[in-house]
């Protein structure tokens, strides 16, 4: 077993060897050095063919058409383009958005950007299990609502929202639905048609692809266009100008192709590891599961440990690569806003650990992690024996 044990797949995944091989081939072949927009010669057309192949592979994973996939630098840019771009393009129809307090910062900060410019934002609060009921979304809609933006699988708790039911509500009210699927693509079944999703944000590096590339699905019938945030050339239907990085896009396409092939088996694999981990950790007094016990994705387990100081606990787990919240907020010592929104007290929110696992994770690594946590908690409590009843 290689130490430290990597259990932070929700932050980023290792690049699959097949993906890395394809990307290396792209970088090493002189014939693919051309700009994929340079269609006047054979090298440019060869590069473009790779980009279009990848576009089709990404589309296939979510049942979209290739023309509906716009490549970006990642899910953060996709979230920004979906939220701000849709709002700006449709502002003559209304200036109201609905989102949740538990969204990724890319969505939250995009909404705050719009709020500072006169948009009204309704912030939904989940229940204690992290769920947002479709009825709560419907109740938040107003006559001038133009967009609902919600995460499919929460990046901290793994809780799954019923985006299909929410999509049906949005369609009835002629409101667009944007879904951040960075954590769910390739792990949960996504069908943008059946679930009535209008815009969908995707990330390569959450799914064994390279960092620095993502995509945004834009329904060509219902949305057609959003306002661009960047300006330059006419690449990606004029919505995302700049030279397309052939090797990165090709890597994302291959990663999504592999994910589509392996989804059922890998979903079963990570669920088994998650359940094994939780079974081992439950022996600890004062350990609490964060998020719904059943309605959650298999690759994330988030727990809080009462009776220990959060920072001390985190740094006692030197043999593990785990998270105390989302990666985008790891530089801050504040308690997780997601867990605070679920009603966890500050102390419990600060003593949370997010374990996330994936394709290469093993049962032996899970057992090692259980031992690390049990030993660390026992050690910390021996120095500061406090009640573990409420944290």
pLDDT digits (tens, 9 = 90+) for 257-266: 999 999 999 9
Q: What is the pLDDT of residue 270?
A: 98
CB 10 within 8 A of CB 323: yes
Average pLDDT over residues 369-391: 80
The matching CATH number, chosen from 2.60.40.10, 3.40.50.720, 3.40.640.10, 3.40.1260.10, for 17-258 is 3.40.640.10
Asked if the model's pLDDT at residue 124 lies above 70, the reply is yes
Say which residues have a Cβ less than 8 Å from residue 85's Cβ, sequence separation at least 6: 226, 227, 228, 229, 239
Q: Which residue has the tokens 């200036």?
A: 95
| Paired tokens of 146 | 């133009």
From the number of C-beta atoms within 10 Å of its C-beta (0-12, 13-18, 19+), residue 283 rates as exposed
Distance CA 87, CA 142 (A): 15
Cβ atoms of 180 and 201 closer than 8 Å:
yes
CB 34, CB 49: distance < 8 Å: no
Mean of the pLDDT values across residues 179-207? 98
pLDDT at position 300 is 98
- Quick one: pLDDT band at residue 31, thresholds 50, 70, 90? confident
* CATH 3.90.1150.10 location in the chain: 5-11+263-383
Q: Is 31 exposed, middle or buried (0-12, 13-18, 19+ CB in 10 A)?
A: exposed
Q: Say what the pTM is.
A: 0.95
Active site residue 372: no
For residue 335, the model assigns a pLDDT of 87
Domain 5-11+263-383 has CATH 3.90.1150.10: yes
pLDDT reading at 282 higher than 50: yes
Q: What is the pLDDT of residue 224?
A: 82
pLDDT at 327 exceeding the cut of 70: no
What is the tens place of the pLDDT at every residue in 59-115?
Answer: 999 999 999 999 999 999 999 999 999 999 999 999 999 999 999 999 999 999 999
Strand partners, 217: 69, 200
Band of the pLDDT at 325, cuts 50, 70, 90?
A: low
Record the tokens describing residue 107, joined without a space: 């969505």
**In this predicted structure, which of 106-110, 126-130, 311-315 has the lowest mean pLDDT?**
311-315
The Cα 233–Cα 288 span in angstroms is 51
Query: Which residues belong to CATH 3.40.640.10 in the chain?
Result: 17-258
Q: Specify the pLDDT at position 328.
A: 52
User: Which value, to the nearest 10 degrees, does the dihedral of the CA atoms of residues 76, 11, 109, 194 take?
Assistant: 60
| Percent of the chain whose pLDDT exceeds 90 | 90
Find the mean pLDDT for residues 244-269.
98
3-state secondary structure of 208: coil
- Sign of the Cα torsion 247, 253, 259, 261 reads negative
Single out the catalytic residue among 111, 170, 328, 372. Answer: 328
Taking residues 124-150, report their average pLDDT: 98
Question: What's the chain's average pLDDT?
Answer: 94
Tens digit of each residue's pLDDT (9 = 90 or more) over 330-367: 555 678 999 999 999 999 999 999 999 999 999 999 99
Q: What is the pLDDT of residue 333?
A: 61
| Triad 280, 188, 277: Cα angle to 5° | 5
Say if residue 328 is exposed, middle or buried (CB neighbours under 10 Å; 0-12, 13-18, 19+). Answer: middle
Position 11 pLDDT exceeds 50: yes
Q: Which strand ranges, in their side-by-side order, compose the sheet holding 96-100?
A: 69-72, 214-218, 199-203, 176-180, 145-151, 96-100, 120-124
Question: How many beta carbons lie within 10 A of that of residue 12, not counting itself?
Answer: 15
Measured between alpha carbons, how far is 23 from 127 in angstroms, rounded to an integer? 43
Predicted confidence at residue 8, as pLDDT, reads: 98
């Amino acid at each position: 077993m290689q130490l430290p044990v990597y259990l932070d797949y929700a932050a980023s995944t290792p690049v699959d060897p097949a993906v890395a091989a394809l990307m290396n081939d792209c970088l090493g072949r002189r014939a693919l050095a051309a700009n994929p927009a340079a269609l006047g010669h054979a090298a440019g057309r060869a590069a473009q063919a790779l980009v279009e192949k990848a576009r089709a592979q990404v589309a296939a994973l979510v049942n979209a058409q290739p023309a509906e996939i716009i490549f970006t630098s990642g899910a953060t840019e996709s979230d920004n383009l979906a939220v701000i771009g849709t709002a700006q393009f449709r502002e003559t129809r209304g200036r109201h958005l609905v989102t949740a307090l538990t969204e990724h910062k890319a969505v939250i900060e995009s909404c705050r950007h719009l709020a500072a410019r006169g948009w009204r934002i309704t912030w939904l609060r989940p229940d204690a299990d992290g769920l947002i009921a479709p009825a709560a979304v419907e109740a938040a809609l107003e006559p001038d609502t133009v967009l609902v933006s919600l995460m499919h699988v929460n990046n901290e708790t793994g809780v799954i929202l019923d985006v299909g039911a929410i999509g049906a509500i949005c369609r009835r009210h002629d409101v667009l639905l944007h879904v951040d699927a960075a954590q769910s693509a390739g792990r949960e079944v996504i069908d943008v048609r059946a679930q009535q999703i209008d815009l969908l944000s995707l990330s390569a590096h959450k799914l064994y692809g390279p960092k620095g590339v993502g995509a945004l699905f834009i329904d060509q019938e219902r949305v057609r266009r959003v306002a661009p945030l960047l300006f330059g050339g006419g690449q990606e239907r004029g919505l995302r100008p700049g030279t397309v990085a052939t090797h990165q896009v090709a890597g994302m396409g291959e990663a999504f192709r592999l994910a589509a092939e392996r989804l059922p088996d890998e979903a079963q694999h990570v669920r088994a590891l998650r359940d094994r981990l939780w079974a081992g950790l439950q022996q600890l007094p004062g350990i609490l599961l964060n998020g719904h016990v059943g309605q959650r994705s298999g690759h994330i387990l988030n727990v809080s440990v009462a009776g220990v100081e959060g920072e001390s606990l985190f740094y006692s787990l030197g043999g593990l690569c785990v998270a105390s919240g989302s990666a985008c907020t790891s530089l801050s010592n504040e308690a997780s806003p997601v867990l605070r929104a679920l009603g966890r007290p500050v102390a419990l929110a600060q003593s949370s650990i997010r374990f996330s696992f994936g394709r290469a994770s093993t049962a032996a690594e899970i057992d090692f992690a259980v031992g690390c946590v049990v030993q660390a908690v026992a050690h910390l409590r021996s120095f500061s024996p406090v009640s573990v009843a409420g944290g």
